[in-house]
Amino acid sequence: MSRIDWERLHSVALIAMKKAYAPYSKFPVGVAALVDNGRIISGCNVENASYGLSLCAECGLVSDLIASGGGRLIAISCVDGQGNQLAPCGRCRQLLFEHGGPTALLMTDDGPQTMATMLPWAFGPDDLDRNER
């Protein structure tokens, strides 16, 4: 894979954030990712009056990944309503880890970090066969 265009990912995440539906929290989130086949996908948060049913931006991103042909996440940029880099919550880090693995990169205020760094001791698909060993 060639060089990661972090500026482009940030721009796509900003566009997604502006489409967020966040009337309750007033906290729009956008996320964009580079997939291993070169395409760029995105997602935004979609809230619900029943707060527990709200969808995180990362859920939308993973849905876009699967609906548009699958693949593996290579690089991810997540932004808040002001366009600042935003670290996903633990649940969303798990989603990103599932579809990008430990080497997928997430942009942070400190620069790109691997998902293994962002979610140490992550539980993944390889752990499911532990009972069979």
12-70 pLDDT, tens digit each: 999 999 999 999 999 999 999 999 999 999 999 999 999 999 999 999 999 999 999 99
Q: Helices 57-67 and 6-17: crossing angle, nearest 10°? A: 110
Task: Find out if CATH 3.40.140.10 is the number for domain 6-132.
Answer: yes
The model carries a pTM of: 0.93
Q: One of 47, 58, 98, 132 is an active-site residue; which one?
A: 58
Q: Domain limits of the chain?
A: 6-132
Distance CA 26, CA 86 (A): 15
> Are the C-beta atoms of 9 and 107 separated by less than 8 Å?
yes
Active site residue 58: yes
